[in-house]
Amino acid sequence: MTITLTINGTKTGLDCQPRDSLRTVLRKAGYKSVRFGSETGETGAAAVLVDGRLITADLMLAAQADGHEVETVEGLSSPGNLHPIQEAFIETGAIQSGYSTPAMILAAKALIARNPNPTEDDVRDALSGILDRETGYLRPVHAVLRAAAVMRGEAPESVDVVFLEPLTDVDRPEAPEADLPAIAPRVVPSSDVPETRVVGKGETKVDAIKLVKGNPAFTDDVDLSGTLVAKVLYSPHANARIVDIDDAAALALPGVHAVLHHGNVARVRYASGGQSYPNPLPYDQVSFDNRVRYVGDRVAAVAADTEEIALAAIDLINVTYEVLPAVFDENEAILDGAPVIHDEPDMEGAHDASHNLVHHIEAETGDVADGFAIADRVFEQTMRVHQVQQTPIEPHIAISAWDSDERLVITSSTQVPFHVRRMVAPLLGLPVKQIRIIKPRIGGGFGVKQEMLIEDIVGHLTIATGRPVRLELTREEEFMSSRTRHPQTITFKTGVDAGGMLTAQEMRVVANTGAYGTHGLTVQMVTGLRGLSSFNSPLKRFDCKVAYTNIPVPGAYRGYGAPQALYALEVHMEDIADELGMDAIDFRRLNWTKVGDPLDIAPQLGEGDQDASVMPMVTSCGLEEAVAQGQRAIDWDRRNDPEWRQPSDKPNIRRGLGFAMAMHGTAIPGLDMGGASLKINDDGSFNLLVGATDLGTGSDTVLAQIAAEVVGVGTDDIIVYSSDTDMTPFDVGAYASSTTYISGMATKRAAELVRTQIVARAALMLDVDADSIDLYDGAAWSADGQSVTLEKIALSTLHQEGQHQIMADASYVSPESPPPYAAQFAEVEVDIETGQVTVNRLVMAVDCGVPINPVTAAGQVEGGMIQALGYGHCEEMVYDGDGRMVNPEFGPYKIYRADEMPDVEAILVQTMEPSGPFGAKAIAEIPKDAVAPAMRNAIANATGVRIADIPFTPERVWRALQDA
Amino acid sequence: MITQYHRPLTLDDAIALIARPDAVVLAGGTTINAAPDRAASTAVDLQDLDLAGIDVEGGGVRIGATTRLQDLVDSALIPTVLRDLARREAPSTIRTMATVGGTIGTADPESELLAGLLAFGARVTLARAGSPTEHSLDDILADAGLLNGSIITAVTILTSGRAAADRVGRTPMDRPIVMAVAHSDGATARLAMTGVASVPLVVDPDHIGDLDPPPDFRGTAAYRAGLAEVLATRVLAAVEGGASA
């Protein structure tokens, strides 16, 4: 049928099918800002305006919009200028991945048009239909308020960094500050941090323009002619052998170009976790197996002309299964008689596959039995942490194609392009040099994309068909067939002397790695590392069994074993304090690590190549300041106020405050490596090439700031290109909170080498000594008052004299992993008649060394806390008795919306970390680590009830209250 | 999957179209387009039938069936409690498309708005071949067959009296596990609930114990029954104590 849409003011005739959604038709017409988030319409990534109303275009047929006016973000501005709403989103730091930013901007436009002076609640309601997994909604909400103010002709609130007075090591701490601007990043400065010009500022993100305009930037935004659509057939059974696959009917369907399965794809062993060579064992996967091990496991894949044909072909593949008994619980799976999940003879590297035991990790610093023997009291507790899904709003998507040189180019929403290239090569039977992986902008990663998950499928299909092939997971597939957090059963046993000091601490874990090993070894190593590093104990022991089960596969998820460990640890320490009659924070303070303390379990649980003779030590720690700042921000004294905790006017309500401490790592020492390359252009600008992977976290911007600081320019003179295996140096990718610290140091070193070359030419041109020259404001300045611009230096070196390209590259791997520290606080309200828990406030004060960009750093904390809130409060993967997920959909799987948020506040406590670029440590994962235990401890403060397991859903809390 | 699309200009044309065996009524489309059936179907789009609008009628209001939920939220003619339930029914991007008639036709067991309409004694007008018919919303939710061959054209509710709603969910804006809404005209109170049966329904406060709630992972039957007691008590106390509509 033909329809007429007036798109951004232009009447446009379009051909479409009756079934086509407005989103499909708009994207086909080139409006790539209208995006896919789910097939059931809750994400709002496809939001547009129809007749001025905000609607989600994936739930409207194009035919319904026939004759109506449609606005997309492409119509909001022309090249070179920005709409005030777009400017506000940039200025407030409201853009992380930018995937849903166009939708938010349109929501703002519609709201402001009908209500020029909206309240915060009005804005939160307007954004309620746009799900965001990254920002915690705080900055987007304030972006809209800012835009409305500007459009009313008013001056907007400041967004500049606010420096808070330190509260520790001072004679008299300052009184609490008056209301700070809501999104001004709060930084507590450290006196030993040197002055910088670009580093330490909230510089605009280098990708802000394309994200705020919805310009084509994501994997799906590029159309290659002749692209086939891929679809995957997934297993309906939790455990089964594939006895037969009959693909004849599927192949015979017109428009089907290939059907792949174990019968026609080479059986090459691998592990899909995106990690350095050699990938940790076991190698328990093949592209297509003759066995399925969870509901959602891969069976076959097709490539066809259209999505309809591909889906029809999937239905026509006739599979005969021999269904086997399944096991889902990690404790049951390792018992005698449990179904054996990996019995294939060619599997490599499980500890004891006949008992579903993938790994048995043991580490100790002496015999804990001795410590328990001398303890005054010994405490033991067991907790279980459950399975949650990561839910980036952009699902996994990859497009593969032969280029003209007959090299295979795969554009993929991946965190690990270099690992993907290396890992996919043997599966496809191609050498690494014949493969190129490109990471464009991606719409959220969190670790679910630290995996070679679907690139082998599209590669196989391109090889089989000769055509470009596109595979995008549906939201249901993203829930069931990607990667989750590892569930664990954790037992802590701690000995305490009469004074409250730890004498021994033991952590025993049974972890559930689902059907395949992937990250099963290293996540659990981090669990032990983080579970036994926060507190000094003369004797420590970690014993961890990692079990196969038939659940959808856990993998890498932001926090990577730490959220599990720190939930259990911080609950355990809280309860010990309570038993001892000690203050919750004082007890921890007595035992927590400080500068100069050894990280004594780290050498045993580190993944990389480290010098065994060197004991890692804590070299920077701002925890005391973080605790003091957080206590003040949340008004910690209310914890002991009975009137506040049990309000007389609300007899069914109890209120409480909770604390938890977090300590994380910064990259993997001796393992994570990144490279950077910098060259000057004729106008004194630079190209910075880095392998590092910006997931929306802002790493391109942070690295640009580091380079800019060294060579004396602004970030707009650094053009960043990243994450292309042909064009950029190697980088392990975005994980382990490594990018700022590792890739940042590589960038700094490359920039320093370039600086040396610039200064040498400036010295010649100015006839002065090189060491009298400083670089800033785009020029070289000598002590005697002369100057020459970088542009002149570039022209001189490129064209005029002693011609050479000023350029340099550098790599970096660190022997250390300096821990960031954080103090997490939560305020909750519990309805004791119903068990409903409401979280009213979250505050995290974090020592991440020196934040290179306080705005993006604050955004990492604000967003990470909300994701962590879901872990403790409302998210869970639920299964029926046959192992099928019953809630693979937003809604039943509940993530937080803009209109139900607690207040969130991030406070950045500076310390000068000597080993980090300009003093930086990591910040990306630590916000995930302590919200759940802080909530749990707040519920205990409110009700007196100590709940063991997450999540704190109403019936669980209600039953805990009943049982108490 | 929608293989044919029609946008009739008259109600009679629409009724003739929905007589086809594969016809689906397209109001906002938010339900149909969210879960497309693979079977071929003919969409009958109601947008040109002029069925939207909120008008004062008698002691209440008449809400046209294709009135969008956002219009309920924005209308001063709609009682405050119902405006809030309409806001809660769907987020900002969906309640601008979803309609009152569509909400009734979908009969989501967790629909707070349907419970609210029940509490306000909603009556539903159906157009069909022949004369239109009118039914209580209770009857329509109890027997979906009443909608066969018909198009909802309007919903009428009383607007005087007091109302209150309360709920339990995992988060403040979650679909409720159990929700209760009460409306009182001063003499009698009407209580409606979600999460305690396969549809939202009117509940006799003296017979809450007879409910047999269907369990799911968010609430067992026993927990839901317990919530029903607690929430019913709260909302009934609120309407007797002076909460306004």
Amino acid A172: pLDDT = 60
Q: Inter-chain contact B35–A40, Cβ cutoff 8 Å?
A: yes
Give the model's pLDDT for residue A743. Answer: 95
Condensed to tens digits (0 to 9), the pLDDT of residues B3-62 reads 999 999 999 999 999 999 999 999 999 999 998 777 889 999 999 999 999 999 988 999
Q: Where are the alpha helices (DSSP H) in A599-645?
A: 602-605, 623-634, 642-645
State how far residue A849 is from chain B, nearest Cα, in angstroms: 34
Question: From A124, which residue of chain B is nearest by alpha-carbon distance?
Answer: B92
pLDDT in tens, A485-502: 999 999 999 999 999 999
In the prediction, which pLDDT does A733 show? Answer: 94
Helix/strand number for chain A, H first, E second: 26, 33
- The C-alpha angle B48, B112, B191, rounded to 5 degrees, equals 120
Say if CB A714 and CB A790 are below 8 A apart.
Answer: no
Q: Burial-class residue A357 by CB neighbours within 10 Å (0-12, 13-18, 19+).
A: middle
pLDDT by residue (tens digit) across B145-160? 999 999 999 999 999 9
Q: Between A and B, how many residue pairs show a Cβ–Cβ distance under 8 A?
A: 133
Half-sphere exposure of residue A13: CA atoms within 13 angstroms, side-chain side:
2
List pLDDT tens digits, range A268-282: 999 999 999 999 999
Give the C-alpha distances (Å, rounded to integers) separating A775 from A569, A759, A770, A798, B156: 48, 8, 11, 19, 75
Q: Residue A169 above 80 pLDDT?
A: no
Give mean pLDDT, residues B186-213.
Answer: 95
Cβ neighbours of B26 in A, within 8 Å: 61, 64
Q: Residues B106-131: what's their mean pLDDT?
A: 96
Which pLDDT score, from 0 to 100, does residue A918 have? 96
From chain A, the residues in CB contact with B93 under 8 A are 41, 44, 47, 54-56, 103, 107, 129-130
Q: Kindly report, residue by residue over A713-757, the tens digit of the pLDDT.
A: 999 999 999 999 999 999 999 998 899 999 999 999 999 999 999
In this prediction, residue B58 carries a pLDDT of 87
| Across A562-585, average pLDDT | 98
> Mind listing the pLDDT tens digit for each residue in A844-873?
999 999 999 999 999 999 999 999 999 999
Instruction: Chain B: give the shortest CA distance to residue A103, in Å.
Output: 10
pTM of the model: 0.97
Query: Exposure of A332 by Cβ count < 10 A (0-12 exposed, 13-18 middle, 19+ buried)?
Result: middle
The residues that bridge with A838 in the sheet, in sequence order, are: A829
Residues B76-89: what's their mean pLDDT?
98
Percent of chain A at pLDDT exceeding 70: 99
- Non-local (6+) Cβ contacts of A928 within 8 A are A558, A559, A562, A563, A864, A867, A868, A871
Q: How much is the average pLDDT of A409-436?
A: 98
Question: A954–B168: do the CB atoms touch at under 8 Å?
Answer: yes
CA distance A61 to B29: 8
Instruction: Give the end-to-end CA distance of chain B in Å, rounded to a whole number.
Output: 42
Give the model confidence (pLDDT) of A212-225 as tens digits: 999 999 999 989 99
Q: Give the confidence band of B213 by pLDDT, cuts at 50, 70, 90.
A: very high
Question: Rounded mean pLDDT of chain B?
Answer: 95
- 3-class state of residue A372 by DSSP: helix
Q: How confident is the model at residue A204 (pLDDT cuts 50, 70, 90)?
A: very high
**Chosen from A34, A35, A38, A54 to mutate, greatest number of chain B CBs within 10 A:** A54
The verdict on a CB contact (< 8 Å) between B94 and A56 is yes
pLDDT at A175: 62
Averaged pLDDT, A682-705: 96
Q: Taking CB atoms and an 8 Å cutoff, what residues of chain A touch B5?
A: 1, 18, 61, 63
pLDDT beyond 60 at A72: yes
pLDDT band, very low/low/confident/very high, at A171 (cuts 50, 70, 90): low
- Judging contacts by C-beta atoms under 8 Å, the chain B residues touching residue A107 are 92-93
Burial A133-157 (b: 16+ CB within 10 A, else e): bbbbbbbbbbbbbbbbbbbeeeebe
Q: Average pLDDT in the A511-526 region?
A: 97
Taking an 8 Å cut-off on Cβ atoms, the answer to whether B230 and A130 are in contact is: no
CA distance A627 to A583: 14
Q: Contact A715/A203 with Cβ under 8 angstroms?
A: yes
Q: How far apart are CA A416 and CA A510, in angstroms?
A: 28
* 3-class DSSP assignment, residue A533: coil
Q: Give all strands (DSSP E) within B129-223, no chain letters.
A: 133-136, 150-158, 162-168, 178-184, 189-194, 201-202
Question: For residue B37, what pLDDT is reported?
Answer: 78
B92 contacts A54? CB cut-off 8 A: yes
Interchain pair B43, A833: CB under 8 A: no
Residue A934 has pLDDT above 90, yes or no: yes
- The answer to whether residues A99 and A39 touch, using CB atoms and an 8 Å cutoff, is no
For residue A56, give both structure tokens.
């989600």
DSSP symbols for B29-69: -TTTTTS--SS-EEEEE-GGG----EEEETTEEEEETT-BH
Q: What is the pLDDT of residue B243?
A: 54
Rounded to a whole number of angstroms, the distance from the CA of B23 to the nearest CA of chain A is: 13
Give contacts of B230 with chain A, Cβ < 8 Å: 833-834
What is the distance in angstroms between the Cα of A791 and the nearest Cα belonging to chain B?
Answer: 50
Whether the CB of B20 is below 8 Å from some CB of chain A: the reply is no
pLDDT of residue A766: 97
ipTM reported for the complex, 2 dp:
0.97
- List pLDDT tens digits, range A331-344: 999 999 999 999 99
What mean pLDDT is predicted for residues A314-324? 98
Burial class (CB in 10 A: 0-12, 13-18, 19+), B94: buried
The yes-or-no verdict on residue B244 having pLDDT over 90 is: no
